[in-house]
Chain A
Amino acid sequence: MQVPGPFEYDRATSVEQAIGLLERRGETARLIAGGHSLLPMMKLRLADVEYLIDINDLHDELGYVLVEPDLVRLGALTRHRELLESDELAAVLPIFRDAERVIADPVVRNRGTIGGSLCQADPSEDLSAVCSCLDAECVIRNGSGQRVVPMAKFHRGPYETAVGDGEMLVEVRIPLHPDSSSAFEKVERRAGDWAVVSAAAAVTLAGGLIADARVGFAAVGPHTVVLPAVSELLRDEPPGEQLYERAGALAAGHCEPSTDMRGTADYKRHLVQELTRRTLRRAVQRIVDGRS
């Protein structure tokens, strides 16, 4: 039987109050959102928590999908299921529905949140790949105000983020650009499992050329990475199969997968190559389809 070690439990009644509690209790305090990463870690005694602050009562305040003309705002407590079911979100960022269909299973998706997923900073977290390729920004609140950290600086390493003691992630912001789209692909061993490899691509076209593109991955290295070399290769090139092929080969060479129970490093490199092609192809196709 797996049970967490003893801890004190409190419920946050507002973001300010949660931050106040975090400040007072320092590094022995932890927030709990969906609990679907933290509780398993506490059961395995991989996380040592003395003071647990439940933020689920803040769902009214922090659970939202707001689509604005140039920006999408996602509240940190928005659950996987809400991201999956939002038609408004799927219309501007179809990558979320692609990913949420294959993140965990429907019952887990009823609880897990985007904030928890990003703050967990597990190298296999699918939403980290999604938010990285979309160039998202993370809004972190603390006692003296808030700061905005780009995804590229949010993950400091496996299980480590830019969120400090006495701080809390409150919102994820994703910029929207015209003539842009995105796509996600994942290979898993069985339904509901973590990725063997997953890939996320975001593309912007201008005048028939790729103006900007980013490809991010989960499960192929110490953190989910957007590879700048791939973005450089794609910039100002006309989209097409040959280009996707070259981008896939480059990505496979630049990632750092390791052999584990989900597959060998070679197999994962092969997947990186193939999924890079597929996600780029689909993102571009979506832009083209959206214009017609």
Chain B
Amino acid sequence: MQVTMTVNGAEVSREVEPRLLLVHFLRDELGLTGTHWGCDTSNCGACVVWMDDEPVKSCTVLAAMASGHEVRTVEGLAHEDGTLDAIQQGFMQCHGLQCGFCTPGMMMTTRALLDRNPHPNQAEIREAISGQICRCTGYATIVRSVQWAADHPDGAVPAAADEPAAPAESVTEPAAADATQPIPAGSAS
């Protein structure tokens, strides 16, 4: 069957089997491998993308069901001029990732959180990501990353910067000080 949807602002159309899951459509048909595929059972959240502005687990949505809808993936987070979104910058600034497997899903969910609630408290951030699993960070740095993005809605890192900007004073805990190695700009996505 023919499916047609808008992915990160561009219309795409493909002939697919009805049983194709959205996560595989994005990764295998469109080559958008930023969306990860983990548990396959709607438990881990690695596959979270937006469908019409709401985060969904794309391993539990058929590509056919997304036809006619607007999908946004982690590849569509950065701004048109290449500047990383505040949430991506927050994950860089506050060491919100280690292996990065959960990161695309975490960023899509928390970007949606900040769009609805620009100043979430810790509990609200933890609730928002409660359907997603991170095996590396222990979540504390993810929560800090989201708080950083909330405190810097326009971000802080210029598009062409090679190094992340110095951590801002409003980061409540000395997150960046834990970092033994600075993360180069761009490697977070």
Complex contact B48–A9 (CB within 8 A): no
Complex contact B62–A35 (CB within 8 A): yes
Complex contact B57–A107 (CB within 8 A): yes
Q: Is B168 in the interface zone, CB < 8 Å from A? A: no
Q: Which residues of the other chain, B, contact A56 by a CB distance below 8 angstroms?
A: 65
Minimum Cβ distance to chain B for residue A114 (Å): 17
Q: Is B130 in the interface zone, CB < 8 Å from A? A: yes
Interface size on A, residues (CB 8 A): 27
Q: Is B131 in the interface zone, CB < 8 Å from A? A: yes
Q: Which residues of the other chain, A, contact B109 by a CB distance below 8 angstroms?
A: 106-107
Known: A9-B64, A36-B60. A106 touches B19 (CB 8 A): no
In whole angstroms, how far apart are the Cα atoms of A36 and B17 in the complex?
Answer: 20
In whole angstroms, how far apart are the Cα atoms of A5 and B57 in the complex?
Answer: 20
Known: A106-B130, A106-B131. A8 touches B60 (CB 8 A): no
Minimum Cβ distance to chain B for residue A119 (Å): 17
Of B38-46, B76-84, B155-163, B176-184, the stretch lying at the interface with chain A is B38-46
Contact mask for chain B residues 35-78; partner A; CB cutoff 8 A; 1 contact, 0 none? 00000111101001000001111001110110000000000000
Minimum Cβ distance to chain B for residue A2 (Å): 5
Q: Is B127 in the interface zone, CB < 8 Å from A? A: yes
Q: Which residues of the other chain, B, contact A1 by a CB distance below 8 angstroms?
A: 40
Complex contact A54–B17 (CB within 8 A): no
Complex contact A105–B60 (CB within 8 A): no
Complex contact B130–A192 (CB within 8 A): yes
Complex contact B18–A7 (CB within 8 A): yes
Q: Which residues of the other chain, A, contact B48 by a CB distance below 8 angstroms?
A: 107
Complex contact B40–A2 (CB within 8 A): yes
Q: Is B171 in the interface zone, CB < 8 Å from A? A: no
In whole angstroms, how far apart are the Cα atoms of A231 and B42 in the complex?
Answer: 38
Q: Which A16-51 residues sit within 8 Å CB-CB of chain B?
A: 32, 35-36, 39-40, 43
In whole angstroms, how far apart are the Cα atoms of A43 and B60 in the complex?
Answer: 10
Closest 9 CB pairs of A and B: A105-B131, A9-B18, A191-B130, A4-B19, A107-B131, A110-B54, A2-B40, A9-B64, A107-B55
Interface residues of A (CB under 8 A from B): 1-9, 32, 35-36, 39-40, 43, 52, 54, 56, 104-108, 110-111, 191-192
- A-B contact sample (7 more), CB < 8 A, given A6-B19, A105-B132, A107-B56: A7-B19, A54-B65, A107-B57, A107-B131, A107-B132, A108-B131, A110-B56
6 contacts between A and B (CB under 8 A): A7-B18, A8-B18, A106-B128, A107-B48, A108-B42, A111-B60
